Amino acid sequence: MKNLKPFLLWLIMFSHSFIFTQQFKFEWARSFGGSKDEIDRVMKVDKKGDLYLFCEVYSSHFSIDNRFFFDWINPENYPSNAVLLKYSPSGELLWGRALKTNIIGIEAYGIVIDQDNNVIISGFHQGNEIYLDTVKLYSSVNVNSFAFILKLNEEGELLKYQTFAEVIRGTLNNQGGIAIDKSGNYYLPAQTRKSIIDKNKDTIFNSDLTKGRYLLLFKLDQDFNPIWIKKYYNVDGYFGDVKVDGEDNIIVYGMFRGRELTVDSFTVRNAETVYLQEDFGQDEVYILKLNGDGETIWLKSVQGKDVEYCAYNDISFDKENNIYLGGMFGSDTLKFSENIYLHKDKVRSNFFDIFYSVYDKTGECQWAKTIERKIEGLADNMSIHLISSNHLIISGNYSTQNFQAGNAQLSNKGRSDSFILLANNNGEIITGTTYGGENNDYEQQVASDGRSVYIFGMFGSRELMINDTILKNDTTDGSLDAVLIKYSIDSLTSASNLPEDQIEIGVYPNPAKEQIRLQLPEAMAQGLLFYNLFDIDGKWVSSGLLRSKHAEISVRSLLPGQYIIKGGSLGAKKFVGRFMKME
């Protein structure tokens, strides 16, 4: 026992200096705002590395970088308008476009980039007029609600648009964004009770519902004309995200209420046992996979007896088309499969805990994790994003003075700070950073070009502290300004930039199919070993701890090819081995 403390200290130092060399490096930050709130919504990076931000604006007027000034049509009589902004990788604002309405409001929900580097945005509007700057896109004598989709080139010029409105005044809501497949077709989710017309007043969907809602998924061609419309019923369901995987299948991520959700021949039941009026029940999370013809491949749910919320706009896929997603849960126990559960923290004020998880392409949950802690006050929202190195970026909010997640121990500057965590592809948290001020700072969207990570969020503090940089809030009453932050992550730890190895070891069997065994020298016969596994190009694959006498590693899930394993022992001796993985 007397050697335990020095060993743990060494283990922490070793894991930081040898294994996990990636750190968040702050590059720059930009903020913008006006007299009221600005709400971050969605963000994308194009193939040139430029950023597109689509957000809602509750201010009657505001300027950005003293270059762009937005004045609204009816500033005294509306809740929100929207802006689309384009930034360069160096943080220069290139252009901005405003979506304006005369009454009610606009909500910004989706953004994608097509193969020609055009930007497509989607959202929801309630009113009888909508403008892109001074160009009128829609006009009606009735106050109507509709979904819209706009396509602009990389200079911000409007190329085409489409609207989908309810025939009778109601609420057509397309919360859940937009997706695009390899052929340039679009997928737009919507929620409605009424029949729907397009901008030419042609009826494209008929409904006879008197209660409940249809959840719809539109497949649109490149001119935004419907190819098919998938519908399924729920008393009050919502969309969180829609994405297209590498095989052009569609993943829909959302929430449903009521006793069950049925799509084609697939049904999932709500774990809630107490139902409100009209069987509303509590929100349950579901994941739906469709093929390109709109046929259901599988339907899964994440079950808890309280409220669960899906995160918005952040489904990610890896090269094997595994699905990474996240959300929040208020249930004591959250069930992902027969063998995978999460349990909520019991601290009284923690109403929600964060979850993040991975499903394979067949719909089987591979793992699910939460941020474990013994302190109160973490998280009322979250976001998750898989970057090209197969690492996860996880962001959210916390209101404690300190919290620790994996190797990341973060302090708090105010009431509710924002955190950004880096995790490996097994969900193990490696490192993290935080920013905040004296007031509440909320919500983030995450995007990456593979070399840098961008955070799009909001802050209510008078001064927002990001490392040594301070951003001023343009409001004086605690309203929210928007913030855009760029971090770089140091070059991925690779086989070429680790310290010089001292010992070459044998790896058996070689080639391997199920598992490998490390043949270690006597000098490493005791204690624990750290290892990193890389492919032949030096890209990190996985890492872990081993007892040297049982130095066996499963390689069953690896793709065929050559691999390099590097690690070290308690005595600071380092080793390298090589092997071939068979099919």
Please write the tens of the pLDDT for every residue from 532-564. 888 877 778 887 777 666 678 889 889 888 888
490: confidence class by pLDDT, cuts 50, 70, 90: low
Q: Which of 97-111, 276-290, 459-473 has the lowest mean pLDDT?
A: 276-290
What is the spatial distance between Cα 320 and Cα 323, in angstroms, rounded to a whole number?
A: 9
How many angstroms separate the most distant Cα atoms in the chain?
Answer: 85
Q: Which of 15-29, 332-346, 384-398, 536-550 has the lowest mean pLDDT?
A: 15-29
Whether residue 226 has a cis bond before it, omega within 30° of 0: no
What integer is the mean pLDDT of 465-478?
Answer: 77
Task: Judge whether residue 524 has pLDDT over 80.
Answer: no
Highest mean pLDDT among 141-155, 219-233, 493-507 belongs to 219-233
DSSP 286: E
More confident residue, 118 or 240: 118
How high is the pLDDT of residue 413?
Answer: 66
How high is the pLDDT of residue 497?
Answer: 41
From the number of C-beta atoms within 10 Å of its C-beta (0-12, 13-18, 19+), residue 71 rates as: exposed
Task: Judge whether residue 2 has pLDDT over 50.
Answer: no
More confident residue, 300 or 525: 300
How high is the pLDDT of residue 24?
Answer: 80
Contact 198, 190 (CB under 8 A): no
Task: Judge whether residue 306 has pLDDT over 50.
Answer: yes
Total length of the chain: 583
Question: What amino acid is encoded at 175 in this protein?
Answer: Q
Q: Percentage of residues in the chain with pLDDT exceeding 90?
A: 28
- Cβ-Cβ contacts under 8 Å for 318 (sequence gap 6 or more): 324, 386, 390, 425
More confident residue, 571 or 442: 442
Task: Judge whether residue 139 has pLDDT over 50.
Answer: yes
- Tokens 């591979």, located at residue: 366
CATH class of 4-9+501-581: mainly beta
Whether the model clears a pTM of 0.75, i.e. scores above it, the answer is yes
Please write the tens of the pLDDT for every residue from 124-134. 887 778 889 98
How high is the pLDDT of residue 275?
Answer: 53
Please write the tens of the pLDDT for every residue from 47-64. 889 999 998 888 877 778
Q: Which of 40-44, 213-217, 379-383 has the lowest mean pLDDT?
A: 379-383
Which uninterrupted H or E stretch holds 7? helix 4-14
Please write the tens of the pLDDT for every residue from 173-209. 556 789 999 999 999 998 888 888 888 888 888 888 7
Strand residue runs (E) in 412-559: 417-423, 429-435, 441-448, 452-459, 463-466, 469-472, 481-489, 503-504, 506-508, 515-519, 528-535, 540-547, 552-554
How high is the pLDDT of residue 142?
Answer: 64
Please write the tens of the pLDDT for every residue from 145-174. 788 899 999 999 999 999 887 765 445 555
How high is the pLDDT of residue 198?
Answer: 84
How high is the pLDDT of residue 157?
Answer: 97
The number of CA neighbours under 13 Å toward the Cβ of 187 is 26
How high is the pLDDT of residue 16?
Answer: 39
From the number of C-beta atoms within 10 Å of its C-beta (0-12, 13-18, 19+), residue 118 rates as: middle
How high is the pLDDT of residue 402?
Answer: 66
How far apart, in Å, are the Cα atoms of 503 and each of 368, 416, 518? Answer: 37, 48, 12
How high is the pLDDT of residue 174?
Answer: 58
- As a dihedral over the C-alpha atoms of residue 501, residue 504, residue 509, residue 514, rounded to 10 degrees, the angle is -10
Task: Judge whether residue 22 has pLDDT over 50.
Answer: no
How high is the pLDDT of residue 120?
Answer: 97
What is the spatial distance between Cα 355 and Cα 71, in angstroms, rounded to a whole number?
A: 40
If you write DSSP's letter for every residue of 404-421 in order, what string do you get?
Answer: EETTEEEE-SSSBEEEEE
How high is the pLDDT of residue 54?
Answer: 93
How high is the pLDDT of residue 227?
Answer: 97
Task: Judge whether residue 501 has pLDDT over 70.
Answer: no
Q: Domain segments of the chain: what residues? A: 4-9+501-581
Task: Judge whether residue 308 has pLDDT over 70.
Answer: yes
